[in-house]
Amino acid sequence: MPKESLNSAEVRDMMLAVADKIIEAEPILSEADRQLGDGDHGIGMERGMNAVKEKLTSEEPDDIGKVFMNTGMAMMSSMGGASGAIFGTVFRAGGKAIKGCEAFTAAEAATFFQAACEGVKERGGAKPGDKTMVDSLQPAAEKAAEVTDQPLPAAMAAIADAAEAGKEASKDMIATMGRAKTLGEKSVGKADAGACSVAIIVATMRDFVA
């Protein structure tokens, strides 16, 4: 049954679903990183998501923003690596922006993704086109801003499509940041590992509310 809005317990369940999907995708994510980086992205995300599950199931989910922030904190302090800081920032910055909100709707999603994207860009200095997870997160955030008046399931579907398209677009980009940058032209044709994670995260959120 489609959900028009989520309460804090549902947001927690959604994040638990995200955690499981990412853990499941570990081999895919590691392989993507092996093509362009050092091959550990899936391992790191799995470690982070296990910490998320432990954190979210050990506390009462009293605030939607805090559920996301706890997700971010759990990732940041367990993962390390570029993605620990980056994905930790996604959920910490995104969650902080909607702290205190009563329900997670398309409007909150828009606030969340835009704050997340700004936070990541500030933290890591990556611009769109640098072949990082920003290339999936930024289109998602932009689309989210356009669909605030839609029901949550439709909005999340549009956002997920944008994230997926961004990830696909990252294939054509030449890496300029992080470990892949010296690949230069050779990096063309392969999707960025972090962008793959963003696409999976957003798709799982879409499926949860659908």
Ligand X SMILES: Nc1ncnc2c1ncn2[C@@H]1O[C@H](COP(=O)(O)OP(=O)(O)O)[C@@H](O)[C@H]1O
Cα–Cα separations (whole angstroms), residue 87 to 3, 120, 153, 209: 26, 8, 23, 22
Contact criterion met (CB below 8 Å) for 39 and 33: yes
Minimum CB separation of residue 81 from Mg ion in Å reads: 5
Q: What are phi and psi of 6, to 5 degrees?
A: -115, 140
In the complex with ligand X, which residue's Cβ is closer, 166 or 194?
194
User: Which partner in Mg ion, other proteins, ligand X, none is near 129 (CB below 5 to 8 A by kind)?
Assistant: none
The candidate with the shortest Cα–Cα distance to 169, out of 198, 193, 186, 192, is 192
Binders of other proteins in range 71-100 (CB under 8 A): 76-86
108 CB-side CA count, 13 A = 20
Selected from 2, 59, 146, 186, the binder of other proteins by CB under 8 A is 186
Query: Shortest gap between Cβ of 106 and ligand X (angstroms)?
Result: 25
Centroid of chain to Cα 112: 11
Q: Does 47 bind other proteins (CB under 8 A)?
A: yes
Alpha carbon distances (Å) from 22 to 8, 65, 168: 21, 21, 18
Q: Counting contacts by CB under 8 A, is residue 131 touching other proteins?
A: no
Segment contacting other proteins by CB under 8 A, of 27-35, 139-147, 153-161, 200-208: 27-35
- Tell me which of Mg ion, other proteins, ligand X, none is bound by residue 134, counting a contact when its beta carbon lies within the kind-specific cut-off of 5 to 8 angstroms: ligand X
- CB 100, min distance to Mg ion, A: 35
189 contacts other proteins (rule: CB under 8 A): no
Interacting residue ranges for ligand X, rule: CB under 6 A: 33, 37-38, 40-41, 44, 81-83, 86, 120, 124-126, 132-134, 177-179, 192-195
Task: Give min distance, CB of 179 to Mg ion, in A.
Answer: 6
The footprint of other proteins (CB under 8 A) covers: 27, 30, 34, 37-40, 42-44, 47, 76-86, 123-124, 177-184, 186
